Amino acid sequence: MTLPSRSKRSALYKSHPELILNLGSCLAVLAIVAIVSFLLLRERSNVEQSASRAASNIVQLIDSDIQRNVELYDLSLRELIWAVQQPDLNTLSPALRQKMLFNQAFTMPVRGDMLWLDAQGNVVADSTSIAPRQANFSDSKIFQAHRQHADLGLVISPPFKARLGDLDWCISFTRRISDANGEFAGVAAGALRLSYFTDLFKRLDIGNESSINLMNTDGVLLARQTNLGDDALIGNNYADSPNFKRLIAAGSGSFASFSGRTGKPRLYTFARVGDLPLIVVVARSADEVFEAWRRTALWVGGATGVLCVGILWLTLLLGRELRRRHCAEQDLAELAATDSLTGLANRRQLDQVLRREWSRAQRTQRPLAVLMVDVDHFKAFNERHGHQGGDDALRQVASAIGRSIRRPADLAARYGGEEFLVVLPETERQGAQVLAERIRRSVEALPLFGDDTAPVTVSIGIGCYIPNTQQDLATLLGNADEALYCAKRNGRNRVETAV
């Protein structure tokens, strides 16, 4: 795109100062709004990234704690299986056997209890007491799975309500016990209170409307910490939830979405717990995350709005003043270029137009004509009607000349006294004669003045510039003047053309 030259830009500004001012102000306001919007959006992105990093740190902390607990449970189960397989176990006293079977430092009430189940599902040993509690778990799906499959390894169960004691919601860790021949001999089981995770989550401050969740890969909610008091959700299955499908597909990471339960915006950060079928999900409330940013955006946006409105208001005021100044300058320019008596162009404007049209005619090789118009017997008219009457007559003659000119490029001016000059660009002799005759008839048709019996008349001399001839502007005006005096000598109230 080619930019306009400096002179053209200057001319554009001079001709349309208010337009340039309004355009500049609008561009400035748009630039301010764009910059502030960019900075606010970048700050929002930074806030979101900070919240995601903080949630990721929480996820990693919980991940480490859960893996440590699972490893401890698995280690305790392996120790229980090893102890069960010792041939001299039954020779020990009940108290000593209890200590050998169960790690008392690990099997604390805050976590849960451990059981040794025989091949029929009966409780053989119990970590909570030397005399085991009586129960049978042969109907358990996990027990049956261990009995049918020898290679399951460590199995983590869905959440359940404990049959023994008051353990409330738990998950179990189980391993198969095989005899020396590899036959099924029972199950080593450890129960973990889900309230353990709830207590762990409570120590982490994530906001009033946010939550920390522990789920298994089947979509079952195992543990949840929130200030909304919706612990009843534990045990619910969210496998069909779009958000759960998304985090299962990704494995770990972050994304923004809406809560499937409340419909409110959330920032989800999640990760798989090692190789275990467990997923930790931190759901941050977007309203809480962006609360401080919204306050900042409100203040900054309001201040920016006030600033932009102020700029536009000042622009309107300045534009109004420029408009007034432009009108005043136009009025002054018009006054400076207009004859105060007749309302036609004055001698100054006439000289400018003559030079301009002469230069154009020389450049384009187009014809140019001028009409020299003089009021007949004006001195005698002034003596009869006085100077006031003479001025009225000049005004009416000027009006008749102005009405006779129909092209915008033509110019009628007062040449001096009772003389007028009409500039006709791109007009040949024949066209100039037609216009001159029209002016003569228009003046002759003016109403009579006072007691006069004859109308006011004018004599007109025509000077023509013919392209490709040796002629200058002074010669052109001299020819018109000579034609005018020829018209006067030949009886006045007529049109003559220079030879």
Query: What are 136-170's pLDDT values in tens digits?
Result: 888 888 999 999 998 888 988 887 777 776 657 78
Which helix (DSSP H) or strand (DSSP E) does residue 459 occupy?
strand 458-465
Distance CA 23, CA 204 (A): 54
Give yes or no for a contact between 36 and 300, defined as CB atoms under 8 angstroms apart.
yes
Predicted TM-score (pTM) of the model is 0.56
- 464-468 contacts: CB < 8 A, separation 24 or more? 464/367, 464/368, 464/369, 464/428, 464/429, 464/432, 464/497, 464/498, 465/358, 465/361, 465/367, 465/368, 465/369, 466/367, 467/361, 467/365, 467/366, 467/367, 468/365
- Inter-residue contact 410 to 422 (CB < 8 Å): yes
63 CB neighbour count, 10 Å cutoff:
19
> What pLDDT score was predicted for residue 266?
87
- Cβ(463)–Cβ(372) below 8 Å: yes
Q: Using an 8 Å Cβ cutoff, are 107 and 80 in contact?
A: no
Domains, the chain: 15-336 (3.30.450.20), 338-497 (3.30.70.270)
pLDDT of residue 106: 54
Identify the pLDDT of residue 369: 94
Q: For the chain, list residues with pLDDT below 70.
A: 1-16, 104-111, 165-167, 227-232, 331, 333-337, 499
- E strands present in 162-309: 169-178, 184-193, 211-216, 221-226, 252-258, 265-272, 278-285
Closest CA to 426 of 363, 374, 481, 345: 363
Considering only CA atoms, which of 160, 187, 150, 155 is closest in space to residue 173? 155
422 bridge partner residues: 371, 412
Cα 272 to Cα 222: distance, rounded to the nearest angstrom: 14
For the purposes of burial, counting CB atoms within 10 Å of the CB of 447, is it exposed (0-12), middle (13-18) or buried (19 or more)? Answer: exposed
The amino acid that residue 308 corresponds to is: C
Q: Are 368 and 427 in contact (CB under 8 A)?
A: yes
